[in-house]
Structure 1
Amino acid sequence: MTEAPTRDTIESRRIAEGTFYDFKREVDLDKKYPGGAKSAKERFIDDVVAFLNGEGGHLIIGVEEADGVWDKFVPMSGDREKICNRYLQVIQSTIVPLPTKVNIVPIDVPGGFVLDVQVPPHWRKPYQNAMSGAFYVRAGARNRVLTVPEIREHFADFERMETDLTRLFDVFRRDLLAEDNLSSVKLLSPGPMGSLSFRSDNEDAGPRLLFGILPRQHYDRSRPRYDPSKLSQPAVAAFNGGWYPRLRGCGGGFEAASTHERLFVATDWHILGWVKHPFDFTRERPDMAAFRENLGRFIASISDFLLEARVVGPFAITLAIENLDEMEEWPRPGMANEVGDSRPSVMESLADPRLIDDFVAQVRSVLYG
């Protein structure tokens, strides 16, 4: 993203309106215009949407411009945090999908402050003004309406991610889950998360958590292929405690595996894996709080692993649990054998708590009715 503006860069006219900067004298979120014209709030959202559908930028509120550069400040006063939160709440409630990285920062100027609405590059395009249904993109110092083919192209990108992950996931379930296909079976190393919960009962019976992740960089031909020998590799937390050992080479990528877990990272950055026996039992009932904690920590660890390698969103992700009818500790006649989305979710960030909460809610519904 471009350099964040300061009082000095604004007053010295080193930044000017264009693809990455826009000056607004004021934005009164409560102001209405006669004759059915767009409200000030709707126009403000149009501007933010345009940056979201472009390459990001800065919308600076409280600057009067002349010929695209600073002329004078029109400073604000009052509770800065409250004012910033009001603008951010409007952005988050009137743009779809939810933009996750927008930030609002006050800049001190004589007589008060102006606001820098920071819009980093977002990848989950197209973004839409939910008030009007409009799609805009920043084009130079102006906004323009996205064409229908452009809108379709953006949606096609996500449909392709969903389709490709579904295909990879189906092949994985069919061909890679068999133990004889594991090329490097190693015990997971104990770590600060505690000891591993190995079972003494039938290793092959019981439920199994399956996961698949496909990042945008899967399609980026300029991105280096994944090779743990050339990248700093943080540890990835195992689902039931401990850590995965260093990933070892196998067909099409690298993996860490034990009799209870497998993590596969392909050279083109898609991730697949499974975890046997994902449930702890409290008072002879599946412990959903422990499941939520383990799954959240596990996905957060994978997110950190990808961030370290600068692999960013959006991500297509699939979570599923199969063989629920083999869970002898929790027999419920008529309970579904499997739970999970048949269609992958597309998320800006793996750290989005909605991803975990939605899946846990599905699992709880199947287990407890």
Structure 2
Amino acid sequence: MTLQLPVEEIARPISCKAKECAGFFDHENDHWMKTLTTVKPLPQRKNYTIGVDIGGTKIAFALIDDTGSVIENKRIPTQLTSGPEMILVEIGKQINLLIKEYGVNISGIGLATPGYVDTRTGIVKNAVNLNWKDVNVVAILKNSITASIPIYLQRDTAAETLGEHYFGAGKDCQDFVFLGIGTGFGAGAMTSGHLLTGVNNMALEIGHLSVDQHGPVCACGNMGCIETVLSGKGLVNRARDLYSSSSNLEYSQMLDSITAEWILERAKEHDPIAEELLQHMSKSLGFVCAMLKTILDPERFIIGGGLGKAIFHFLRFEVEKEMYSRVLKLDNRKIQFFQSSLKTSAMGAAAMVWYFNGLLPKSIHKNSS
């Protein structure tokens, strides 16, 4: 049985075998909760990093070592109404608890967010899915962490690309494209073993590329962006449009409760509207892959993100078919399609610590020897 105590009660002596506490913020009761856990001491000789991936619906945390083993993995909801500062303060509390619980030296903290980020200043310039503008996330987080630990900031899909390169489906590949389909849509690429960033660190921020000037309005203000189709929000919005025009009265009564998970379940039951929605997504993703294949000539595509992993087996062959129908036929070489194999998106954020320091985790050394 789990014992939960408000933070003010922690100072009292507790008769139990637990040595330290992990915790979470109880938004319903508006106070920090701590969960008593038994601590397993970790070897100090290893190199540990913490990754934090801030998404539109959840924040993922991971404590990993330099072999890619996930020591701790947890998620909390993203309370966007709280504002960026409160969210970052809460992230700092979670990090402090991880450090205290495991008692190891942390080499660095990797922080991944969507949108336009300045890795040099630590500022999120514009993250439309978070509604953040000019937020100095690194400075705020540093003030919330008790230990003096370097913090590294990167765009989320670029960070996940690094995670796949070090620990996931791109570990044995020097040229691949990562496509992240979640609340939003983005991409990242490794070219000749190097992360493709561009001058402003915006390379492959293609979710906000407008491909249909008469399409739906995107959160960024443009019309018909790729993200309006290839994202959880885009899928749900399109589903509501189609189901609302259906003659089935049952659908009109449940439009507000439609989720991406519900659509996938309906597709499994061969609901024609759900199948049409996924078919539309597969053609759109095939178009994106054709474009990126032509520009970057990768060896493989890796599909990730919560929704991307969920729909991978639904759409994989349709996506390949659509992609090949749109590109120049040069040879019979097949591009590989892989599902993301990362245990958590926060592994990519943690991998940034090694990348920004010019280091390789032990898992890479082992495979390259």
Q: Which has the higher helix share?
A: 2
Alignment TM class, shorter chain as reference: under 0.3
Structure with greater Cα Rg: 1
**TM-score normalised to structure 2 length:** 0.27
Greater RCO (CA < 8 Å, at least 6 residues apart): 2
